[in-house]
């Protein structure tokens, strides 16, 4: 995702410095300055972090001490999908260091990011969001302001991703039902995604199910991470999420069958497999 964002920022005239855990991923990226350490990024005016999960954030930003030498006026924009607990911990650390923190996870796959058409969920101090809004205008088609606490954007992204997985589950169960009665999935999915469920998630993942092709836009392994975040976040507030539990079970089974690197909609094959009766 970060790799898809870089050319947009460069073409918009921004000076972009980059550090990545896998240095080889930057070999074909032009117009950027390579940094030796993540700490060096925090000496810049704005830092955007796009890390895979909570563990990566702990390794790259916390255990390394990257925040400790940050420039006084640095604004940190977290565009990863992180647990609410970690986001609130980051808020405490940033407050102690006098750093502005903005949470800005996104909806959209890398291909959408490459076109600058992401939906950006922004939460944090209004002044800090205003400072980085020109960057959001380059990266996204719309910025959704969700309040002054960064955790608001974090939980909105987790809840939204949970809804996407449940849309996939719904499509998988519905097409399994129609196929058992001899109705091909293609006309059924076209009907539903042009009428009652005419939205990108149903359309994109419905086609994946129809074609039985799961080229990764967002991998199943990362999708399981986000469902785990949703279930844990609910548990922290005494809330059960039974539909999410079903999705997690499907995802876990699919990953055990070697599908973890495929698109997260690949867990639908656990539901739809099997011949019509």
pLDDT in tens, the chain (277 residues): 888 999 999 999 999 999 998 878 888 889 999 999 999 999 999 999 999 999 999 999 999 899 988 998 999 999 999 999 999 999 999 999 899 999 999 999 999 999 999 999 999 999 999 999 999 999 999 999 999 999 999 999 999 999 999 999 999 999 999 999 999 999 999 999 999 999 999 999 999 999 999 999 999 999 999 999 999 999 999 999 999 999 999 999 999 999 999 999 999 999 877 554 4
Pairing of strands 140-145, 118-122: parallel
* Ranges of CATH 3.40.50.720 domains, the chain: 2-148
| Structure tokens, 157 | 């992204």
* Ranges of CATH 1.10.1040.10 domains, the chain: 155-272
Residues annotated catalytic, as ranges: 157
3-state SS class at 46: strand
Q: Count Cα atoms within 13 angstroms, Cβ side, for 59.
A: 8
What's the predicted TM-score (pTM) here?
A: 0.93
Q: Name the DSSP class of 123.
A: B
CA 50, 51, 53, 55 torsion-angle sign: negative
Helical spans, DSSP H, in 181-256: 185-194, 200-211, 220-236, 242-256
Residue (of 143, 104, 98, 138) closest to 123 by Cα position: 104
Fold adopted by 155-272? 1.10.1040
**What class is the 2-148 domain?**
alpha beta
């Amino acid at each position: 995702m970060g790799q898809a964002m870089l050319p947009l920022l460069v073409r918009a005239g921004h000076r972009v410095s980059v550090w990545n855990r896998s240095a080889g991923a930057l070999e074909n990226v032009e117009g950027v300055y390579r940094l030796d350490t993540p700490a060096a990024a925090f000496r810049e005016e704005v830092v955007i972090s796009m890390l895979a999960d909570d563990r990566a954030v702990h390794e790259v930003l916390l255990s390394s001490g990257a925040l400790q030498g940050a420039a006084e006026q640095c604004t940190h924009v977290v565009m990863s999908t992180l647990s609410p607990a970690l986001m609130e911990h980051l808020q405490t650390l940033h407050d102690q260091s006098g750093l502005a923190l903005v949470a800005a996870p996104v909806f959209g796959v890398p291909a959408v990011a490459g076109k600058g058409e992401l939906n950006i969920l922004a939460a944090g101090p209004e002044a800090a969001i205003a400072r980085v809004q020109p960057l959001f205008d380059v990266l996204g088609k719309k910025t959704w302001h969700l309040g002054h606490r960064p955790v608001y954007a974090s939980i909105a992204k987790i809840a939204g991703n949970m809804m996407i997985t449940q849309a996939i589950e719904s499509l998988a169960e519905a097409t399994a039902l129609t196929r058992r009665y001899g109705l091909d999935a293609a006309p059924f999915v076209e009907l539903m995604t042009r009428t009652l469920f005419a939205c990108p998630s149903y359309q994109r993942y419905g086609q994946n199910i129809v074609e039985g092709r799961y080229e990764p836009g967002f991998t199943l392994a990362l999708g399981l991470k986000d469902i785990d975040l949703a279930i844990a976040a609910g548990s922290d507030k005494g809330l059960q999420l039974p539909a999410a539990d079903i999705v997690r079970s499907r995802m876990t089974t699919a990953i055990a069958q070697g599908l973890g690197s495929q698109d997260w909609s690949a867990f639908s094959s656990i539901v739809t497999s099997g011949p019509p009766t």
